[in-house]
Amino acid sequence: MIEFILNNKIIKTEVKSGMTLLYFIRENQGLKGTKSGCKEGDCGACTVLSGTLQKDNSVDYKSITSCLTPMANVHGKHIVTVEGVNLKNELNLAQQAIKDNFATQCGFCTPGFVNSLSGLALKHTHPTKADGINALSGNICRCTGYKSIEKAADEVTSKLQEKDHNNELEWLVENKFIPNYFKEIPLKLKALKSDKNNSEGVLVSGGTDLYVRHADALLDQDIQQAINFVSNNIEFSDTKCTIGVGASVTDLMENKQLNSYYPNLKSDLKLLSSEQIRNMASLGGNFVNASPIGDMAIFFLALNAKLMVQNSIAETREIALKDFFLDYKKIDLKDNEFIQSITFNLPDKSTYFNFEKVSKRTHLDIATVNAAISINVQGNIVVNAYISVGGVAAIPRYLSKTASYLMGKELKKEYILEAQEVLQSEISPISDVRGTDQYKRLLARQLFFAHFIKLYPNLFQLKDFVA
Amino acid sequence: MSSMTNKDSYGHVRGESLFVDDINVKEGTLHALVFDSPSAHGKIKSIDYSEAEKLDGVERIFTYAAIPGENQIGGIIPDEPLFAEQEVHFMGQPIALIVAKTLAIAKKAKKIIKIEIDESPVVTTAKEAFNKGLFINAPRKFELDVVEKGFQESEYVFEGETFTNGQEHLYLETQASYAFPLEDGNIKIISSTQGPTSVQSIAAKVLNLPMHRIEVEVIRLGGAFGGKEDQATPWAVMTALAVYHLKKGVKLILERHDDMRMTGKRHPYESTFKIGLNKDLKILAYEVDYYQNSGAACDLSPAIAERTLFHATNSYFVKNAKLTVHSCKTNLPPNTAFRGFGGPQGMFVIESAIVKAAKELNIPVRKIQEANLLQENDEFPYGQIAKQVEIGKTWNEVKSQFDISKKEKEIQEFNTKNHSVKKGLSLMPITFGISFTNTPMNHARALVHIYQDGSVGISTGAVEMGQSVNTKMLQIAAMSFGLTPDKVKIETTNTTRIANMSPTAASATADLNGKALLNACDNLKERMSEVIAEKLAVNKLDKISYQDNFIFVNGTKSKLSWEELILTTFLKRISLSEHAHYATPEIHFDKTKEKGHPFAYHVYGTALTTVTVDCIRGTYEFDAVQIVHDFGKSMNKGIDMGQVEGALVQGMGWMTMEEISYDEKGRLLSNSLSGYKVPDIFSVPKEINVIPLETDGNEMAILKSKAVGEPPLMYGIGAYFAIQNAMLAFNPSYKIKFDAPMTPEKVLMGLYENDLK
């Protein structure tokens, strides 16, 4: 039995837990405002909100793409479709802003945009103008050219500056962002049964990759939720950080401590897919997916991270992430094992980290090449370096030779150029839809240079490295 | 903005607007899925449907054998079967329609159909087809004066090659149709089509029924951009065929991957050009061979080829030209209409030729552009005399409003100061002809019912696909009758109310249907004038007008309200319904001479594009696109502005990140939204500034408000050349290329061209 609240209605359903939320909403519930545009999380027409009850009895709403969300993952949640943010006989504030600014043409993508903006309103923050745009990072519109949508988002954002944080729901209802019933949702969520008894079927975390390929096959199957086995906690000791791999990319982005250690974390992670997908995609999923261009793999390889793996009889073993990827889509994980957490050393004052990603479209795209470095320089000597690059081999590539070349050397242009030559010997890109092998080699070179230009702007400029 | 917003926006933002997949279907409605060719070219050796047919829930699998009429959907040339028979000509070509109780069952059935194909050689590029002599039809040629003489007189002659890739429409709503039986064996199709009449006539042909037995209805389209002009038809006809046999409702909504694989796109063009200029930089001669990649069947390719010729010289006066389009037959899905309809492909070539000449002569591109801009009374290559030419005005306005010289200087300074980031700019003038180039298609009808309570219902042949044509229709009727918009309702587009429609295309739909609607309103007012005369005792010299729900006499409000007028007219047994017709006057074209006056008028404008290129990574961001556009007298500034912005960004997508890719076997590699990228909210220019040019408007345009759907797309071409200019600032030895789109890959490879040798 899956039990959750859909808009203002408590749902108790026996549908298979592998069915997508999109299918359930449209075909089972007949709510046709949520549109199906691509079924791979790449257009945002099916965006809905998923609300989770917090310890303080508030509800934390996140935008998600319902096409990639298994029903198992909506258990105990408040799911909001466009019908659920409609007011009686008038438009809500986001809707009015879209209408007033001519920000809807054909209308097919519009409910998704409305939901993303409603999600923005329900966040417990005063959003900046950029936050308003970021909320729409996963919504594609083919008609407007977005300028009118930007204006609508700006209107919504500026109104939200007035939000009363002591009385959020009240304020949002009063200011016509959401209907009145939202105020009753926390209590209703609390009353939901929370037992999750699925113990069979494929293990699914965020589903954002699995469901791109297997949504049809899982329609009439039960699945198991990874979150029942792994945590999403982010914990810090004096020198280490340990993250339960159930954590979503958004969990990482919003973690204050992590941001203090990695000041570019937010802008780095904004290059990963869209807000909707970041809200769903888990760390563990990104690792076991083993894509050669997995952004999180590249990120954590350069942090020299280690995975804690657990088996069905609760035995654990530790494995370095760089040893985890064996071959194309092959990982060191047995059938009865799953990843529990990831651990890495926190940077000291002389350690810098940089992440780079280039794709055809800067946002909501798969990398052509991505790259990361963690480098410790003391007195101009490279004491330690961990370097990774994706999209240039069958696996996310950890560049051990390049790193060892640099270690113990002065941080000098000549050595970086030499190291780049070593890097080229460690990669073997192939031509595909994301680019030719020659391009990927060039890009790997450029992103390697970019690390040093970005981390040591006083020491290096582009012209130091290229003719 | 004070103009009326899209009349559908209330429903759109609430998720209440209906698209085909949202309609409440009749009980027992079945779901269909297309079984398509896994090879791009070959003979079908065998197909085994037996296992699939046995699957529980599979109702029937239809092939060409089930077709009672002709297995033919070709609109211009009958060269395209609905279902492949013995041969397949592109990967994704429909072979059969699986009809089942659920889509999931149909998908399972599809997986167990066994097919064997004897593979034949696959051709994917136009030049390859040209070399093998594979064509859709004979080449189409415009030849003016004596081009050789022009080249002889030229001081400078330059040659080059260009390529523009295709473009996926990526309408957010995929192709969709829902058909169901009416009584007496009649069939109703609700289709997401730009061409209800095409669907009707092709369905009639395939089913061997007279057209009146097929009713086609369109509520709205979730985007189309040309992709649903001809290519909505097969899916609609397939559902009709299934209904014909099964007597049950059948729904076919293409999955995104199926849509991308099976449908055609904007035509890729390979072209070779030769341009001759005199000392004053005047273009004396221009010769081009366009190799159009038409795909495996004709579709609209000849019409698109024709518009390439009409726009080959863009905004320039060229005295001697020899322009030839070769429609080359390849093993790709038949390429089709896409906003601009061959015009953008033609314009890219002349802009390339000018850029090439400027580079060789080491002068600013804009000097050549400016020296050749069309003047009043210049003759277009197709014989039409240019009238009310606004191109020079838009050009000069851009130059002065945005201070080009200052901008160029700033960019130069920026580029001197910065090594790892470079800026570039470009100017892109556009001149686009309005009318279907096929003269007989330029007509439309409107049906107006005034109900006895004074409310008004309107049907036209216009299809609403986001361009807000229905809002414009509503404005026209409300204005004509002096009513508030709530008194006017726009009905669905339906072949039983409006017959023999031209498709909603060519930017001309608001003009054609709007003028028909105005005629209908005028005819009704003419009939009601005798009622007014009697009621208000006015004479012929008095000026009657309709305002604020009342009749005004000589500008003064009378006591006669609209409602009272309508009721009185009704009681007098005078018809309150009118069905009116409009055909564009003046236009004509003689295809034997390739001369005439094909366009009602032209739309003009100029765009200034500024870009910043990251020379470390090869990525780019557009700082601004600044445009002076000729709207005529815009009847709805908010809507028209949305068309300009939307078209611009779509054109920029075509020129930058949108990259269609097929492998040598004809398999589409960019077959999903993860592999084919269209602009998102971050990739659009930081600033888009559109200034309307002050003009008198054009009488041939509806309410003097010029067509706006397609022309602004071509402003996007400027993006290509702006990026290339920034690249040159980083790498002056970079060899300029005319190979669109300019992806980050091409940028980086160009920036470091010297390293790669």
DSSP assignment of A273-285: S-HHHHHH-BHHH
Question: What's the mean pLDDT in B503-511?
Answer: 97
Q: What sign results for the dihedral spanned by CA atoms B438, B440, B443, B444?
A: negative
| Stretch (H or E) spanning B739 | strand B739-740
* Residues listed for chain A: 467
Is residue B187 over pLDDT 90? Answer: yes
The residues that bridge with A236 in the sheet, in sequence order, are: A241
Q: What is the CATH number of the domain that holds A414?
A: 3.30.465.10
Q: Is residue A223 part of a domain?
A: no
* A446 contacts B173? CB cut-off 8 A: no
Q: Which residue of chain A is at minimal alpha-carbon distance from B677? A: A361
- Burial class, B545, CB count within 10 angstroms (exposed 0-12 / middle 13-18 / buried 19+): middle
Chain A touched by B618 (CB under 8 Å) = yes
Distance separating alpha carbons of residues A298 and A302, to the nearest angstrom: 7
Active site residue B710: yes
Residues A177 and A270 in one domain: no
Domain final position from A143, A172, A191: A191
Which of B221, B678, B754 is nearest residue A140 as measured by Cβ atoms?
A: B678
Q: How many CB atoms lie within 10 A of CB B431?
A: 26
Q: Long-range pairs for B65-69 at CB < 8 Å and ≥24 separation?
A: B66/B241, B66/B245, B67/B206, B67/B207, B67/B241, B68/B206, B68/B207, B68/B208, B68/B244, B69/B204, B69/B205, B69/B206, B69/B207, B69/B208, B69/B209
pLDDT tens profile A308-362 = 999 989 999 999 999 999 999 999 999 999 999 999 999 999 999 999 999 999 9
Q: What is the CATH number of the domain that holds A63?
A: 3.10.20.30
Q: Which residues contact B399 (CB under 8 A, 6 or more apart)?
A: none
Which of A45, A107, A368 is nearest residue B466 as measured by Cβ atoms?
A: A107
* A436 contacts B745? CB cut-off 8 A: yes
Q: Is residue A380 part of a domain?
A: yes
DSSP character at residue B703: G
Of B682, B672, B566, whose CA–CA distance to A146 is shortest?
A: B682
Q: Which residue of chain B is at minimal alpha-carbon distance from A137? A: B681
Q: Is residue A412 part of a domain?
A: yes
* A143 contacts B466? CB cut-off 8 A: yes
How much is the pLDDT for B539? 86
How much is the pLDDT for B502? 98
* B468 contacts A105? CB cut-off 8 A: yes
pLDDT tens profile B240-277 = 999 999 999 999 999 999 999 999 999 999 999 999 99
Evaluate whether B127 touches B329 at the Cβ level (below 8 Å): no
* B756 contacts A148? CB cut-off 8 A: no
Taking CA atoms, B436 is separated from B340, B344, B704, B737, B743, in Å, by 12, 16, 18, 33, 33
Residues A145 and A286 in one domain: no
Q: Is residue A389 part of a domain?
A: yes
Domain B443-583: give its CATH architecture. 2-Layer Sandwich (3.30)
Which residues in chain B are contacts of A18 at CB distance < 8 A? none
Nearest C-alpha of chain A: how many angstroms from B30? Answer: 14
Question: What's the mean pLDDT in B296-310?
Answer: 98
Domains B26-120+175-253 and B269-436+594-756 share a fold: no
CATH of segment(s) B269-436+594-756: 3.30.365.10
Mean pLDDT of chain B: 97
Chain A touched by B734 (CB under 8 Å) = no
How many Cβ pairs closer than 8 A exist between chain A and B? 237
Chain A touched by B5 (CB under 8 Å) = yes
Distance separating alpha carbons of residues B545 and B483, to the nearest angstrom: 12
Query: Residue B2 — very low, low, confident or very high, per pLDDT cuts 50/70/90?
Result: low
How much is the pLDDT for B757? 67
Residues A171 and A248 in one domain: no
Is residue B582 over pLDDT 60? Answer: yes
Which pair of structure tokens corresponds to residue B365?
Answer: 């591109």
Chain A touched by B104 (CB under 8 Å) = yes
Query: Residue B390 — very low, low, confident or very high, per pLDDT cuts 50/70/90?
Result: very high
Instruction: Write the single-letter amino acid at B74.
Output: G
How much is the pLDDT for A200? 80
Domain extent at residue A275: 229-465
* A220 contacts B11? CB cut-off 8 A: no
Q: Is residue A155 part of a domain?
A: yes
Is residue A198 over pLDDT 70? Answer: no
CATH of segment(s) B26-120+175-253: 3.90.1170.50
Domain final position from A191, A216, A248: A191
Chain A touched by B13 (CB under 8 Å) = yes
Is residue B398 over pLDDT 90? Answer: yes
Instruction: For an interface test with A, give the residue of B8, B165, B467, B616 to mutate (most A CBs within 10 A).
Output: B616
Chain A touched by B756 (CB under 8 Å) = yes
Q: How many CB atoms lie within 10 A of CB A463?
A: 11
Taking CA atoms, A407 is separated from A375, A377, A378, A416, B644, in Å, by 9, 9, 11, 11, 55
Is residue B1 over pLDDT 60? Answer: no
Number of domains in chain A: 2
Q: Give domain limits for chain B.
A: 26-120+175-253, 269-436+594-756, 443-583
Question: What's the mean pLDDT in A250-279?
Answer: 97
How much is the pLDDT for A195? 66
Evaluate whether A122 touches A49 at the Cβ level (below 8 Å): yes
How much is the pLDDT for A203? 86
* A82 contacts B642? CB cut-off 8 A: no
* A140 contacts B673? CB cut-off 8 A: yes
Domain final position from A191, A220, A242: A191
pLDDT tens profile B524-579 = 999 999 999 999 999 888 999 999 999 999 999 999 999 999 999 999 999 999 99
Residues A167 and A236 in one domain: no
